[in-house]
Amino acid sequence: MESLIRAWDGQSVIIRFDRAANAWIFIAIHSTRLGPAVGGTRIKSYSNLKEALRDAQRLAGGMTLKWAAANIKYGGGKCVIAVPPDLDSQARTRLLRRYGAFVHKHNGLFYTGPDYGTSSEDMDIIAEAGAPYIFGRTQAAGGAGNPGPFTALGVLTSIKVAAERLFGEAALAGKRVLVQGVGSVGRELIKMLHEAGAEILISDVDKAPIEYFKGKLGLKSVPPNAVYDEPCDIFVPCAVGGVLNKENISSLKCQAVAGAANNQLGNPEDAISLRDRAILYIPDFIANSGGAIAIIGMEMSGWSQNEAEKKVIQTIRENLSNIFELSETDGCSMDEAAFRIADMRLTAQNPA
C-alpha cells in the first residue's frame, strides 16, 4: 500500500480502520485545485485492501476530471469503504454513523454523495453527524435524492450523440444496445432506452434485475462472460470499472462504447485500441457526469428537476462536441481529448 500511495499523482489519502465493523475507510483526495474535494462513497467488499485503495485513488482522479469538464468548482475525491462480505445491516448502519462523524471532522476537506453500494437513504444516515458535507440525501430529508436517473439521462445523451456521429441521427429505434450492469443507473437507462425504441440486451452478475426486466419488458439477456463478443451497435458499461482491456477490445463487435461506469478503460492505451478498431468511445467521466452535475446544481444553486435535466443534456452535448473537434484536429483519441479539455480548465485557474 505504501508504494501505491507514494506513486499516486493525487494529494493525500486518509485511512481509517473501523474496528467495530471490521471495515477499512479510504478517503482519497486527488486534487483541491478548483475547490474542496467532492466525490461519492463506495461501499464494497474487495478481495484485498490494495484493490480498495487503488479503486479510491482512480475514482478520485476521475472526479477531478469530471468536475473540471463540467465547469464546477470542486476538486476530486472519493471514499471507498471496504467491508466484510457478511456485514449485517445494523452493523452497516452504525458504520455509516461513525463514517459521518469522520467526514465531519475534516471540516470540508471532503464532501461526499451516493455511489456504487450506497443510496440516498444511506446519505441521510451519514448526514446525521456528517452534515453539511453530504450531498444526495433523500428529498424527504431535504436533499436532491438519488443521482441515478440524472446519470442515466447523461448516458442516454451520450448514446444519442454517438448515434448522431455514427448513423447521422440521434434516433435509437431498432438500434441494438447492450447494457452491462442493471444497478441504480442501468435500470433507469433501460427504461429510457425502451421508450426510445431501442433493441435492448442486458447483462448482470446478479439474477434478480435480469429476471425483473425479462418479465417486465421481455428483454433478452447476455451471460456476463459473453458481453464482449455479443454483436451490438452500442455497448453500455454501467457496472464496475476496468472492464475494457486490450484483449476484449479486440473481440468487441460494437460501433460505440458509451456508459456510466467509472474508469472503464484498464489503461489509457485502451482508448487508442478502440480508435484503431474504429469504435467510438465516449469518455466515461463525460458520459457519467449527469448525476453529479444535477445533484450539485439542485442542492447548491436551487435548480428545479427540469432545469437540472436541461443542464445535464447541455453540458454533456457541449463537452462532447468540443472533444470531437479536438480529437479530429489533433488526431488524438477521444479519451485524450477529454482529458486535455479538463486539464485546460484545471490549469486555467490561478493557483491558490
Among 38, 249, 271, 326, binds ligand PHE (CB under 6 A): 38
- The number of angstroms, rounded, from the C-alpha of 256 to the middle of its chain's C-alpha atoms is 18
Contact status: 143 vs ligand PHE (CB under 6 A): no
Residue 62 Cβ vs ligand PHE, minimum distance, rounded to whole Å: 7
Helix (H) or strand (E) holding 81: strand 75-82
Asked whether position 178 contacts ligand PHE by CB under 6 A, the answer is no
Is residue 40 a contact residue for ligand PHE (CB under 6 A)? yes
350 DSSP 8-state letter = P
Nearer to ligand PHE, 209 or 291 (CB): 291
Residue 50 host element (H or E):
helix 49-69
Single residue of 180, 184, 262, 263 touching ligand PHE by CB under 6 A: 262
Residue holding cell 475525491? Answer: 77
**Peptide bond preceding 114: is omega within 30 degrees of 0, i.e. cis?**
no
Should residue 69 be labelled a site residue for ligand PHE when binding is judged by CB under 6 A? no
- In the bound complex, what is the minimum distance in angstroms from residue 157's beta carbon to ligand PHE? 15
Indicate the DSSP class of residue 239: S
SS3 call for 31: strand
* Minimum CB distance to ligand PHE smaller for 273 or for 289: 289
Grid cell digits, residue 289: 457526469
Q: What's the min distance (Å) between Cβ of 234 and ligand PHE? A: 21
> Does 135 engage in binding with ligand PHE (CB under 6 A)?
yes
Stretch that binds ligand PHE, among 90-98, 112-120, 172-180, 344-352 (CB under 6 A): 112-120
Type of residue numbered 154:
G
Contact region with ligand PHE (CB under 6 A), list: 26-34, 240-248, 269-277, 289-297: 289-297
- The residue count for binding ligand PHE (CB under 6 A) is 14
Asked whether position 292 contacts ligand PHE by CB under 6 A, the answer is yes
Residue 107 CA from chain centroid, whole number: 25
Q: Identify the active-site residue in 66, 78, 175, 311.
A: 78
CB-wise, 61 or 291, nearer to ligand PHE?
291
Q: Which residue from 217, 223, 224 is spatially nearest to 189, judged by alpha carbons?
A: 217
283 near ligand PHE, judged by CB under 6 A? no
Residue 200's DSSP bridge partners are 177
Residue 39 touches ligand PHE, criterion: CB under 6 A:
yes
78 is catalytic: yes
Are residues 333 and 270 in contact, defined by beta-carbon separation less than 8 angstroms? no
Collapse the DSSP code of 71 into the 3-class scheme (helix H, G, I; strand E, B; otherwise coil) and give the result. coil
Residues ≥6 apart with Cβ < 8 Å to 22: 83, 84, 87
Contact residues toward ligand PHE (CB under 6 A) are: 38-40, 66, 113-115, 135-136, 147, 262, 291-292, 295
* Active site members: 78
